[in-house]
Amino acid sequence: MTRPDLGGRVVFVTGAGAGVGKGVAEAFGAAGAVVGIGVREAASAEATADGVLAAGGRPVVLTCDVTDRDQCDTAIRTLVDDHGRLDALVHNAVSARSSEPTDFEHAELALWEEHASVTVRATYRLAALAFPHLEATGGSLLLMTSPAGIDGSGPMPFYSAVKAAQRGFVRALAREWGPRGVRVNAVAPLAMSPALEHVRDTAPDRYARVEALVPLGWVGDPADDIGPPTVFLCSDAARYVTGQTLVVSGGRFTGL
Amino acid sequence: MAESTTVVVGGDRGIGHDLAGELAHRGRTVEVVSGAATDLCEPDAVAAELRRAGAGAPVTTVVVAHVEAAALVEVALAEMGEQAWEAATERTLRAGVVVLQQVHAVVPDGARVVLVLPTVAAAGVAGLVPLCTAVEGLRVMAKALARRWGARGITVNTVEVPLAAFVLGAAEAGTERAADVPAVPVLSEPALPARSAVDDVAGLVELLDSDAGGALTGALLVADRGTVLQP
């Protein structure tokens, strides 16, 4: 597979300790980038750092709880101070409760705030903090959204709303930052997550029904299926692409 | 004695205000929940307002036409502070959650819920990132709730109108109030001749509240006379 060459480029991936974030970080590593691995606890970045290194990239572990503005600021400054630039920021982190079904009608507002703080407020915060650095390199901001933010998921209404909010953010900010030379895009993946791995291992019949809805026949691998399109959108090969959501779902979602 | 009540949340200004008047003119019993006088982020306050509105007759139709005033201010994202983001984006989304939670608690099976929002998020508007963010979040929240509430026969749909119509209602462009409307670049001209957006939306609310509209839920109806033609 031909991959974009991101040698000398610096990217920052939030929520990169596991799942999609880990896979995306490894894909950036395979493209030769310096990869900032944003995690809440540094110890949880070990596997990702090993993966980025093995893929050919240079890992940099950054403690970054995206609900903490100071930590976001410090992480971005550290990456730029130590490596001289920032070419892409990928905001992938989600609430730890994001995959739980939500009883919307009776849910406490605190649960909504948890979703919103990680996905909506942190999106604004990271974008604002990264902007001068992205403008300096002609870089790009990429948000990992979800098909739920397009279709609307009945079991996950809060998650659907915050992921959709990110898509509105992308469209508007792409118009605002385009004249400044910064691109803004989103990826909506159907990817293997810890929750889906649990289903695969404990309820194979249910998992088979999930796979049967995917025309290509499998749930995406974070590194091999979700990572490369994400890297593409952050590379010069996508220099004329902004304001878009790329649905990477094996054909499961075609309604956009 | 009325048999049912139509509530317009955000019916104190803009399209909500004029829509409430038009729906009353068409014979409905209409109650307004003001977005200015009621803190729509406070569940108890919203619940009390909905109880008041339904005191005479059950609330069977709810129109929600509210975004926070702070979201209607043009500002560059990189120049706005966290408090401004909170006031514009987070409060608009939070109010949507609270209002829709309380609406579900008060309406009977078979009720009709219609969100009225500006079309800005369809293509995105520079300077209005907070508004576009909140509007798209609310639109897809409505889709998720349509899936959830269908078992009760409750439909949830969204009608979008141009931003000027959302802010001004039936007022004429070029009036003093038009200065309150952030500039939205014209990406394409409307296909149809101009007409009052209030009439357009009132007609769609009546359609959605009729047997003919009973199969529509989770839908987006763009009442902009053929301007934003989504893919």
Question: Using a CB-CB distance cutoff of 8 angstroms, which residues of chain A are in contact with residue B133?
Answer: 120, 123-124, 165-166, 168-169, 172
Instruction: Confirm whether B227 is domain-assigned.
Output: no
Nearest CB to A171 within list B121, B146, B231: B121
Categorize the per-residue pLDDT at B186 as very low, low, confident or very high, splitting at 50, 70 and 90. Answer: confident
The pLDDT score that the predictor gives to residue A255 is: 79
A174 touches chain B (CB under 8 A): yes
Q: How many domains does chain B have?
A: 1
Q: Provide the number of CB pairs (under 8 Å) joining chain A to chain B.
A: 147
Cα–Cα distance, B38 to B106 (Å, whole number): 17
Q: Does A207 lie at the interface with B, CB-CB under 8 angstroms? A: no
Distance CA A164, CA B147 (A): 16
Query: What residues of B are in contact with residue A169 (Cβ under 8 Å)?
Result: 129, 132-133, 136
Could you list the residue range(s) of the whole structural domain that residue B212 is in? 5-222
* Chain B residue with Cα closest to A146: B140
CB atoms within 10 A of CB B1: 5
Nearest by CB: B77 against A109, A127, A160: A127
Which residues 111-170 of B are in CB contact (within 8 Å) with A? 120-148
The CA distance from B82 to the nearest CA of chain A, in Å, is: 8
* B229 belongs to a structural domain: no
Contact call for residues B140 and A150 (beta carbons, < 8 A): yes
Q: How far is B202 from chain A (nearest CA, A)?
A: 26
Q: How far is CA A179 from CA A99, A138, A173, A241, B106, in A?
A: 37, 11, 11, 13, 48
Residue A244 CA to residue A184 CA, distance in Å, equals: 8
* Interchain contact, A104 vs B89, CB within 8 Å: no
pLDDT, tens digit (0-9, with 9 covering 90-100), for A88-142? 999 999 998 888 899 999 999 999 999 999 999 999 999 999 999 999 999 999 9
List, for residues B72-119, the tens digit of each pLDDT value: 999 999 999 999 999 999 999 999 999 999 999 999 999 999 999 999
Distance CA A219, CA B1 (A): 57
Domains of chain A, each with CATH number or no CATH = 10-191+222-248 (3.40.50.720)
- Which chain A residues contact residue B121 at CB under 8 A? 167-168, 171-172
Indicate whether A251 pLDDT > 90.
yes
- Quick one: pLDDT at residue B182? 86
**Residue B107 included in any domain:** yes
Under a CB-based contact definition with an 8 Å cutoff, are residues A219 and A211 in contact? yes
pLDDT value for A1: 61
Name chain A contacts of B147, Cβ cutoff 8 Å: 152-154
Q: What is the pLDDT of residues B18-68, one digit of tens each?
A: 999 999 999 999 999 999 999 999 999 999 999 999 999 999 999 999 999
Residue of chain A with shortest Cα separation from B142: A152
Asked if A163 has any chain B CB less than 8 Å from its own CB, the reply is: yes
- Concatenating the DSSP letter of every residue in chain B gives --S-EEEEETTTSHHHHHHHHHHHHTT--EEEE-TTTS-TT-HHHHHHHHHHHTSSS-EEEEEE----GGGGS---GGG--HHHHIIIIIHHHHHHHHHHHHHHHHSPTT-EEEEEEETHHHH--TT-HHHHHHHHHHHHHHHHHHHHHGGGT-EEEEEEE-HHHHHHTTSPTTSGGGGGSPP---SS--SSPP--HHHHHHHHHHHHTSGGGTT--S-EEE-SSSS----
Helix-helix angle A204-212:A194-202, to 10 degrees: 120
Distance CA A191, CA A246 (A): 14
Are B126 and A175 inside 8 Å of each other by CB? yes
**Cα A233 to Cα A144: distance, rounded to the nearest angstrom:** 12
More confident residue, B94 or B181: B94
User: What pLDDT shows up at residue B230?
Assistant: 79
Q: What is the CATH number of the domain that holds B216?
A: 3.40.50.720
Quick check: ipTM above 0.85?
yes
Instruction: Please indicate, yes or no, if residue B99 is contained in any of the structural domains.
Output: yes
Subunit contact A132:B78, Cβ cutoff 8 A:
yes
Predicted TM-score (pTM) above 0.90: yes
Contact B155, B217 (CB under 8 A): yes
Contact B162, A209 (CB under 8 A): no
